[in-house]
Each structure stands twice: as structure tokens, then as C-alpha cells.
Amino acid sequence: MIEALQFDFIQHALLAGILVSFAAGIIGSLIVVNRMVFLAGGIAHTSYGGIGLALFLGLPIFFGASLFAVGAALLIAALTLKKRHRIDTFIGLIWAVGMAVGVIFVDLTPGYHVDLMSYLFGSILAVSTQDLYFMAGLLAVILTIVTLKYRDILAVSYDSEYAALRGVNVPLFYTLILILSALTVVISIKVVGLILVIAMLTIPVYIAEKLSHSLFTMMFLSGAIATLFTLIGLWFSYTYNLTSGASIIIISAISLGLFLILYKK
């Protein structure tokens, strides 16, 4: 294992794992307390449309995925703020349509088809330096926003009606949380893939929620737990030659099971 650390791609994989896990822990906390898990799932799958588009036009994958994910986030935000009771239908709709669009674009792309499974289940061993910059940049943005705007985000998440009465711009922060979720989903695609991303956004958060007395602790504890799971998962996948994304999720799920058995309250 130690000798593996001298390879660039292993270093990149570890760094990407840490950056993405931390972002996923923080944003996952916001997604869980705001009950947006299904929304995040919809955004993740819709971004597949963007991956297809990027392949078709020869654009960077992150660019295409971000475009579709943020577009889906804005659409969901607009719909939620208007017709709350119908939102599940719309999410299901963009979920499927996004994936269909992706598949069609890939069909239309001439020549050799890249391994699509890598986007669905992650390809952490193929992280480029550019990817790392994007991940680090996003984590920096997330950290800045959640520290400086912690009170507003807390107020909107805990009791949005009351927050509105106290002069907090609820639609703005709601949309902001969705956009940050969308971008976090995009950077997670490399690590665990867009199908498994939901587990990464929820399992560490679920454990952290039980152990935290405030949203702030919950966010950073989730980040730490997610990082731990990712590193163990990567070691597991390296040792037994298994898919990294799936290994991370399985390690997370087993840990959650142990936690639920051991933690009684």
C-alpha cells in the first residue's frame, strides 16, 4: 500500500477523495436537514444529460455536467417555491429525461464510446490535476458560504417561514443550497459516480446527525466521517482490486450498520 503512494494517480485519487468527501459531508448535511435527498438524486441523474452533451460536443465533462445539474437545481428551486405539493412528480420527470438525453447524445457521438459505467460508478483513479483544481475551488466556495452565511442557512433550514418573517431571503438561500448540491454532485461523479453519490451525501450525515448538537458540528463531522469512509474504501478497493466507488459505499453502509447496533439512545 505504501509503495502505491508514489504514483501520481494514487496521490490524485486520495486528494480527490478527501476534497469530495468533505464537500459531500457539508452539503449532505444541508440536503438531509432540508429533506432534499430525493431532489439531490434528481439533480445527480439529470447531470448525466450534461455528460452526454459534453461528449457529443467535445467539451470538458465537468462543464457539461455542471450545466445540466445547475439547470436542474434552478428548475427544481423554481418549481418548489411555486408548487410544493407537485414537486415529486417533477423530480421524477427530470430524473428520467436527463438520463434519456444523456443516452441519446452518447448514441449520436461518432467513434469510440467512452466507458459510461465510469460516470455512473466513479473513476477515481482517473482524476486529472484540472479536476483537483475544480474540486478544491468548489470546496473553498462551500466553506466560505457556510461560515459567513451560517445563520441565514440555519434559519432557512430549521424554520423557513419564521426566517422569512425575520427578513431572511428564503428563496435565495434555498436556491443557493440546491446549486451547491448540484455542483457537489458533479465533483462526486469522479469519486463514486452519479448513481452512488446519494449514499455519500447521506450515510456519513446520518451518523453525524446523531452525534451533533448543532448544524455546524454536524457539517464538519460529516465531512470527517465521509473522508474516513472514502480512505478506507480506497484501501479496500486497492487491496482486493474492486471498483472504488462501490467499495466506498459498501464500507460506508457497513459502518452505518455497526453504528446503529452500537449506538443506543
Positive or negative: CA dihedral 152, 154, 179, 27? positive
Q: Three-class SS of residue 60? A: coil
Binding mask 97-136 for another protein (x = CB under 8 A): ----------------------------------------
Which position among 46, 80, 157, 247 is part of the footprint of another protein (CB under 8 A)?
A: 157
Cβ contact 192:217 at 8 Å: no
Positive or negative: CA dihedral 65, 67, 70, 73? negative
Q: Is residue 166 at the binding interface for another protein, with CB under 8 A as the rule?
A: yes
Binding mask 180-219 for another protein (x = CB under 8 A): -----------------------------x--xxxx-xx-
Task: Calculate the CA 208 to chain-centre distance.
Answer: 17
**Least Å from the CB of residue 238 to another protein:** 34
**Site for another protein, residues 14 to 53, rule: CB under 8 A:** 33
Q: Is residue 165 at the binding interface for another protein, with CB under 8 A as the rule?
A: yes
Gap between the Cα atoms of 35 and 53, Å rounded: 30
Gap between the Cα atoms of 182 and 220, Å rounded: 19
| Closest C-alpha among 101, 117, 118 to residue 109 | 101
- Residue 214 or 241 with smaller CB distance to another protein: 214
- Contact residues toward another protein (CB under 8 A) are 33, 147-148, 150-151, 154-155, 157-159, 161-168, 209, 212-215, 217-218
